Amino acid sequence: MNYCAIILAAGKGHRYSKNIPKQYTVFDNELIINYSLKIFSELKPIKKIILVINKPQFKKFKDQVYKNKKITIIEGGKERKDSVFLALKKLKTKNYKKVLIHDAARPFLKKKLVSKIIKSSIKNDAVIPYIPNTDSIVFKNKILDRKKVLSIQTPQCFSYKKIFSLHKEYKNKEFNDESSLFFLKNFKVKKILGDHNNIKITLKNDLNNKKEMFYGIGYDIHKLEKKYKLYLGGIYIPYPMGTVGHSDGDPVIHALIDSLLGSKKLGDIGTLFPNNKKFKNK
């Protein structure tokens, strides 16, 4: 079965920042938008990706945006629903059976969840991921039963024909996302357990909570010989023998630097400063 994907990245995200839209924010040396593009590009069932953008925003970051032959870029509309409909129309003549619709502002999506959604969509016209609600929700001075309140995520997968038809039917109606259209028509919607890490970035603090901790391990070995000085941790140690090395031969400092480089995924001292004349005694 042929699948296509629509990735929505045309929002302005004023709640996140007035200067840089959240989808173009750099997180862990990568644009937020690229995380989703890579995930969908690497999944074999996905044959086509429509990336919906805002041209003035995109122009500033286009050189940094992930590129793949599956990806086609189009300009979005005024509202989210307009952007989705434009993407659906772009796919109209391609004979795709199913379409996944995803927010670019959900960069922590995992292949496992997408694969689970695709598998479930084989027998269902609408599949949406959810996570159980853990907070108390108040509606008109009444606390709702949290067991009946779900937080809906993306990607959501639909029969292309049905979602295209529903968008045409409700083009003048306001709705939150595509699953809302299925609920309006009382069509069956298959709900599957999503991923708590698959959050939507709305405020800057959302990214702060996702920063990972990295660690590095470093070690160094130097043989001892006469006529050399001994330095350990930058401190000269009076001793008949010292460490043989291309530079200062300090195993403590070298191990420390290797661990720091490792934590940043930058290789090691030997890679960055090879044993040649250029770096001798540097």
Residue 215 has pLDDT above 80, yes or no: no
Beta-strand relationship, 3-9 and 98-103? parallel
Instruction: Yes or no: say if 258 and 252 are a contact pair by the CB < 8 Å rule.
Output: no
Is 216 part of a structural domain of the chain?
A: no
Instruction: Yes or no: say if 167 and 145 are a contact pair by the CB < 8 Å rule.
Output: no
Residue 13 has pLDDT above 70, yes or no: no
Do residue 8 and residue 58 come from a single domain?
yes
Residue 30's domain comprises 3-208
Do residue 30 and residue 167 come from a single domain?
yes
Domain count, the chain: 2
Do residue 33 and residue 114 come from a single domain?
yes
Do residue 105 and residue 133 come from a single domain?
yes
Distance CA 42, CA 54 (A): 24
Q: What digits encode the pLDDT tens for the residues 43-75? A: 999 999 999 999 988 988 999 999 999 999 999
Do residue 68 and residue 153 come from a single domain?
yes
Tell me phi and psi for residue 138, to 5 degrees.
-105, 130
Residue 216 has pLDDT above 70, yes or no: yes
The CATH number assigned to the domain holding 147 equals: 3.90.550.10
Reference 123, options 97, 150, 149; nearest CA is 97
Do residue 242 and residue 134 come from a single domain?
no
The CATH number assigned to the domain holding 262 equals: 3.30.1330.50
Instruction: Yes or no: say if 190 and 126 are a contact pair by the CB < 8 Å rule.
Output: yes
DSSP state of 261: H
Of the residues 208, 234, 265, the one at which a domain ends: 208
Distance CA 256, CA 114 (A): 41
Reference 131, options 200, 209, 188, 180; nearest CA is 200
Of the residues 149, 178, 208, the one at which a domain ends: 208
Q: What digits encode the pLDDT tens for the residues 147-159? A: 888 999 999 999 9
